[in-house]
């Protein structure tokens, strides 16, 4: 009877974590192979908005790319991953300094998990007196964890001055974070820290360096199509063209 109760409890945990409804605060979906995309939510200008992040299950443990936007899901994410894969999170990478990416660095560092960010991200977090990563990575660095090798790359300013992307070359997976908009995005979203002129050049660097991705994970909204890169570039170009036109009109 006790054994049956244990099995039922385990199934409930897994069901809650992976068979989620649209209202679940933490939603995890399988991408391909050992790769998973997870989604959390927060309020942005009075509207409930989703944020995507990713993790990969390796022989040495789970590598997490960005923390939940919703701080109440920091621990449930760890619990869900361990229940599903019987492995612990061993590394966390923050792709820029905003709360939907770096908000959990302190929490995970205190859990004994190795945390990483770029130098620019660290400088911004330090200036804002916010939790920082334990390890600082250069603008272009390659990591091998278990059976997987990936590259962490800073292409230049875009959505944020410090945004980085992650590339799994063998699997052709590009984790774009907020640097990449989804293929369904109607605009560029939060531009509070953006440099849209530089963003165009930065996207072209990514396109040149990481060719023919099979999957691209944007920071928000649905979809993992590679079309999101071209769509982001078009949104950026349209924005810059509109601003240039407005600027010229005002000078007449």
Q: Residue 158 corresponds to which tokens in the numbers above? A: 């875009």
Distance CA 164, CA 139 (A): 8
Distance CA 149, CA 141 (A): 11
- 145 bridge partner residues: 148
Tens of pLDDT, residue by residue over 198-208, are: 999 999 999 99
Name which of 43-52, 80-89, 141-150 the model is least confident about: 43-52
- Angle between helix 2-18 and helix 74-85 axes, rounded to 10 deg: 120
Tens of pLDDT, residue by residue over 84-117, are: 999 999 999 999 999 999 999 999 999 999 999 9
Assess if residue 199 is contained within a domain.
yes
Give the residue numbers marked as catalytic.
96, 98, 100, 159, 190
Report how many helices (DSSP H) and strands (DSSP E) the chain contains, helices first: 7, 12
β-pairing, 173-177 with 165-168? Answer: antiparallel
Assess if residue 197 is contained within a domain.
yes
Rg of the chain over CA atoms, in angstroms?
19
Q: Which domain holds residue 120?
A: 26-246
Residue 135's domain is classified under what CATH number? 3.60.15.10
């Amino acid at each position: 009877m006790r054994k049956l109760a244990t099995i039922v409890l385990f199934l409930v945990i897994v069901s809650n974590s992976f068979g989620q409804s649209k209202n679940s605060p933490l939603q995890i979906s399988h991408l391909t192979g050992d790769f998973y995309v997870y989604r959390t939510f927060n309020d942005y200008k009075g509207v409930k908005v989703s944020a995507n992040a990713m993790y990969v299950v390796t022989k040495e443990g789970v590598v997490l790319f960005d923390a939940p936007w919703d701080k109440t899901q920091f621990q449930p994410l760890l619990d869900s991953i361990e229940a599903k894969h019987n492995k612990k999170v061993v590394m966390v990478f923050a792709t820029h300094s905003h709360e939907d990416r770096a908000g959990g660095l302190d929490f995970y560092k205190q859990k004994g998990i190795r945390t990483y960010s770029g130098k620019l991200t660290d400088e911004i977090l330090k200036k804002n007196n916010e939790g920082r990563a334990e390890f600082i990575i250069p603008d272009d660095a390659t990591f091998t964890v278990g059976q997987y090798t990936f590259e962490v790359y800073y292409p230049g300013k875009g959505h944020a001055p410090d945004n980085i992307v992650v590339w799994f070359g063998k699997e052709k997976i590009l984790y774009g974070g907020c640097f990449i908009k989804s293929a369904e995005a109607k605009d560029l979203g939060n531009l509070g820290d953006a440099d849209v002129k530089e963003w165009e050049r930065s996207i072209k660097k990514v396109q040149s360096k990481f060719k023919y991705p099979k999957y691209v994970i944007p920071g928000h909204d649905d979809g993992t199509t590679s079309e999101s890169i071209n769509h982001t570039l078009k949104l950026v170009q349209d924005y810059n063209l509109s601003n240039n036109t407005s600027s010229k009109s005002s000078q007449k």
